[in-house]
Structure 1
Amino acid sequence: MLIFVKLICRFGRLSTEMRKHKKRKPRKGWSDIILYYKASVIDKCKFVTECNLPTDECVELAGRYTEPVIIQRSKEQNEKYYHEHVRSAHASGLNTSSHLLSNDKNRSIRIDQLFSPDCDGNTPKTVILSGDSGRGKSFTLQKIMLDWAFGKLYYKNFDVIFLLKCEELKCISEEMSLFELLSWSCSLTLDQISQILELTPEKVLILIDGIDEYVSHPPSHSMLVLTNPSDRAQPMDIFRNVLKGILLPESFMLVTTISLAADAEINLLKGPQRFTEIVGFSERGVQEYFQKFFWDEQLFRKTYERVKINESLLTACSVPLLCWMVCFCLKKHFTDDDHVMRELKTNTSIYVHFVSTLLEHHDQSQSVLTMLRSLGQRAEEGVKKREGLFVEKSVTATGLDPATNVFLYKDSLKRNNRQVPVFKFMHLSFQEFFTALYYVLLDKEESWGKVTDLLTSLKMKGIINRPSPERRSNPIPSVVMFLCGLLNEKASSSLFEMIKWTVPQIIKLKTNLQESLLTVIRQHGCELFALRCLYELQDEKVVRRALGDWVSMNLYNISLRSTDCWVLLYCLQCCPHVRYLNLMYCDLTAEKLKILQPALCMCENMRLSVKHLSEVGDLIHILGKSKFLKKMRVQESENSAESPRWSLDLSVTHGDVLLSLSSSEKNPSFPAVLNITLTCPQSEISSTDWSLFLQRLSKTEKVAEDSSALDEHVSLLLSLFHSVGLKTLNLKLVSLNKSWASGIIFLAQTCNSLQQLSVSVTGLLLEEGLMFLKKSLTEPHCTVIIEGRKCSKLTDQCKEQDWSHSCNEKVEIYLKPKVLKKLEE
């Protein structure tokens, strides 16, 4: 009996070990399965079809792809964003930021760093990649898939990567398991997926493209909890359980969204989370894309240099989709590219020229006007239903031939184990463009009715009143903006001339749009959406009437893209009566401020925030010539990595500038300057390099510990004041050490325009520092005032660290020039 028990125990241990071994060790042929899968990924992702033209071949993704700028957002910035924009999450009492990585910093990040640990070694389970339409989110996911399959990216981190597209998922109506859902979008079988998820779930990455589709199409049973991958349910219900980490909790996710952390998404995704934003191409990225698009070096140089001269067009090319469209138009019309570039001013104008170029290849069996109306009808139905994929029957029902239409791409969906052909516009924004075009191509009465309904839905559905991210994912504002652009005769002329069409009620439509924009502005303030619409219209009279009553413009906490800065510049130049401008927390940079400079010089009162104070150096230089400026306040953003943060206050009175720089530092042991205040003539403020000065100021703390470095640093810092005709200077220091004393002495003896130099010391005035000043400043050119605390004890005097003791009394010491002394006598 004992032997039998021992055998059972031994067998039990053996079977347990076998199960462990079975779970750890892949079945035979595992590597072959992965290799075959990678081959299918390469086959699917290697090429991209840019246009549905018989003359255009497929383009290799790797040869055309240019990595966009991706910004990693810090926890602090996202928490601030939640408080400003995410309403329902706070109303429901949810802790929206609890899953954020605590030590992520604001910085640029590459796609190979998306899953890198933060400073504390924590790795994100979910990476959210947000970005406006056309910024390259989908292409980035496709490039990740391709590079992983080629063994260039994440091949050590992940055994398998799946790509799920939400616009496809919401088209599935039948119930299925998680295994079926994943196999639906790839070449792996149910058994193979089951084996992968069982063996190494922690080495699975799921890419999810367009999570906004989930928010606009919530699951039928939003509270349904699925814990077994074999459980069958509606795809969107399975999808929700994967997103929250109920299913496949060990796996990793990368999701794309137009909205930056809309409330419905924040609480949906498992943590820890990393938030990133794709902002498009840098100027170098635009150049790189042009070089890849135009294979011929001479053609590339000629085209890019011409675009570079047109600053607003170059900025538009920072949006990857627009950059491709501009390149496409310039390549097709190379002999007339100067004319094309002059007309590519607004977003709508770029779409118009692109569509006009493609229409040159239109099948002549149907008139262009009839085809565009049919295309617009199909687009409108898609916008209303929030659909991007169309079955062949619904396309032909509108009178279109999907096989020959250059604006529709053919794709396929798996249904009942067979591939069903579907069609979609080359990009979702084209669906919005053709909807707007449809409204202006209809007969007078029908067109008027459609536009009226559109504007009513804009007002009645509260789209403008919703949080910014949710609005960005709604197609109606984009349709309205394209409609404004099409009513701009200069922008739409090339298309309307081609189809011999005159908008029958253009004045009436413009008037109606103008009234709607006025309503938006009256109800919701100076909305960026309204300004974009006015920019697309390009009608100065309309802009002046829309903003006629505004003497101030408040864009607080609205993230401004470079393209938005051109919009703001145009509107401000049309309305010179706007005197107060609030651009706090608008993600401004030196490049964006350069775009805005002509308009900023026309303002009397401004508030700005920047990441680094040195970014406003050129602006201070330019404002020296402004006839209007009275006040300006600039703060380093709360999201700035700089510590301490600096703020700048500038005011102009009777031709003199009062400029004050203040540090956020409150630590009494801080070894640097806390405040600098000066006055100088406005006419001379442009005489020094303020960017250099502000850069040096931000480095003061870093060199303060090294006395030899500090001597040179203070000397260079104060020497920049010589050229501005300095009248008064006030310094607030923690400690009056020898470095600062030497700089003060040098300035007082050499700056002839200086009338008064005041130094306020928060710490102790040490005897050696005072003696050094008194001995050296026997003949100052100006009055020098030193104030601080001095120990009243005759012996055993307090040291610098004892500054708060009661024996330390406030004192003021005056050092005056001989001329002043004689006058006083």
Structure 2
Amino acid sequence: MAEEEHAFGVLSQALQGLTLQDFQEFKTKLLEVQVAGGWNIPKDLLEKATQPCTLASCMGKSYGEDGAMDVAIGLLEEMNQRDLAEELLGEKVKEYQQKYREHVAQKFLWYREVTSCLRENLSISSRYTTLAIARRKHGGEHKAVGTSQGGANSSNGPATTVVTTQTLFKPNEDGQTPQVVVLVGAPGMGKTMTVRKVMVEWAEGTRHTQFDYIFCMDCKDLASTKEASTVELVSKCYPHNRTPGKVLDDQKKILFIFDGFEALGFSLIQPKDELSSNLREVKPLETIVLSLLKRAILPESSLLITTRPTALQSLGRCLEGECHAEILGFPAASRQEFFHRYFENNNKADVAFRFARSNEVLYSLCAIPIVSWMVCTLLEQELSKQKSLVECSKTTTQVTMSYLSWLMKTGRDNLQDLQRFLPKLCSLAADGIWKHKVQFEEDEIKEHGLDQPDLLPLFLNEKVSRKGVDRGNVYSFTHLHLQEFFAAMFYVLEDNEEMVGGSGALQKDISVLLENYSKSRKDLNSMVRFLFGLESQKSIEYADEVIGCRISPQARGDMLRWLQGRHVGTSHPGQVLKVSELDTFHFLLEMNEKSFTQSVLGGLTDIDLQNSKLSLCDQMALSFCIRQWDELRCVTLRGCSFELQDPREEVPRSGASGASEHPYAHKEPHAPIQLLCRALRHPGSHLRVLRLQWCQLDESCCAELGVLLAQHPSLAQLELGDGALGDAGVRLLCEGLQQPSCCLRVLR
């Protein structure tokens, strides 16, 4: 209401600037006005409107606020009252800008996440996390963009400048201010969130103040438009209000954003004489967009184009002097920042981040923003069920499969094509891993049947060759661990079609893969770990029901025999059968099945690890296996160190055994060996010997060992070859030894 009163006040003031004769002429011309959707002012009312304020009120009631201003401006121009018309137009533009800023803030500040109805109203200001963005000056030649493996830690090289959303259009080191910026990123890297951030900062007046207007076009929505003019495109950005013509007059203060440019699917090849230079000329959408890109329309305006790497080649045909900025993902500090922004609770955020940080593969994948979001979502579900993530059932494979499911939904318009595309993609990934390749030539893409422009960008980044270079484009997976995941999937994915690749095609022989890993190819560790994760029953069901592909369970037998054989083979006749490879525990944790774990460990009696730095993830894998291992008799750890669990991550005090809490357990600080000791107290444990030699034990470790001595029914021998226990530590051990349930016979 206040805005309407202001508008009518401005109109009334303009009418007061007319002479009495001009005022009467204005009223006469009003009788001839025809306004679509409005009412003509009756003649008797016009005759009664003898004052400018009365006439302004009549016009407002008949034409509405915008209509009244437009009619007045048109009539004043017709009467050659240009100063008054300019005054009204200036006020209209000022009011439009204010309303448009409010519209932008409302539209872009709040957004809804894709899964949870509980998170319907999320603020971009509270959720947006700093991304690593590298700007490269191209000068007409298209260098490698989008090829970083996880990106955030990649070397930038001499032609690269690190930028932020605030500095995308700031002068570079040469003092040149970029007029056109192409922001490149793989799916899930945060392109649209970055656009939202830019729009909100502009609407709030905190950044990008060099622009009076920023018009953002969502290319997915725009793709359904057949024809339009430039003015109509601008009007789509604020559909509830007509765009005053003067808005586009000051070109240098306008920024156009095309978000998700690849969705338009334009070839952008068009003769120059077909381009448009008229703002109001209606032409095919591709012509209008190309006219903006080639600077035929509004040549002094600025452009920000976000796209997947696949659209770079077509963009390169029509842009000149543009700067390319690549989103590399979350650097290390931003990953932690994102966890805190997601949980909005420092304690939960620290617990979740520590869990992710302890898993090297998972933490590396968290450089991809959408993966960080998925990890947080999954861990939030776990934290809602229990106080601790120590027994979290979400494996790296399950998180990666969730990411694959998200990618499949991104390309859901051609889901069946995607399902046929997947085996070919996996074949390329496996071929690359075997040959130590992370970049693939165009002929390799074609050889594997992957030259499908609608699907390829979902999984691979495209590196566009320089002009004048004969070789084609080069492609790489968005992250090395994703290539390893798809390579593992190659061995277990059922496909009904003949694999493309000719006589030299890779064979699906899991035994060859596992044998090579055992002998010399330790670089295959992540791939083998994914293999075990994919063969879990949960993964098989998830792939079938959610992703729409079938994973064959037949490999489980080969994998079981391989794990059993690698430990039997390391023992001589008459020796005890023991596990001395830490990766065995990780493989079993990734499979995460009790029966499979027991089948592997059945007949083995000892653990013997030496000189290992046991991360929290290592300890979780070890603890998981110990809980399923009833035949375990002896644990020997020599020269091993333990990453300390965060004291803020509470572990259920009842312990895995369900035994009553030891009376002094809660009084001591968390110990590095807490996870190990609590796993050893699992029901059915028959452990007899525990050796922790030169493992940097301290007083807090003695507290945990005291509880273990007091509660374990069969532990008979404890060896602590470490001189750092101290008198207080020894006293804590003695308290455990004095308990009636203690069965220890040897203490060294």
User: What TM-score does the superposition give when structure 1 sets the normalisation length?
Assistant: 0.42
Structure showing greater radius of gyration is 2
Greater share of residues in strand: 1
Which one scores higher on RCO, CA 8 angstroms, separation ≥ 6? 2
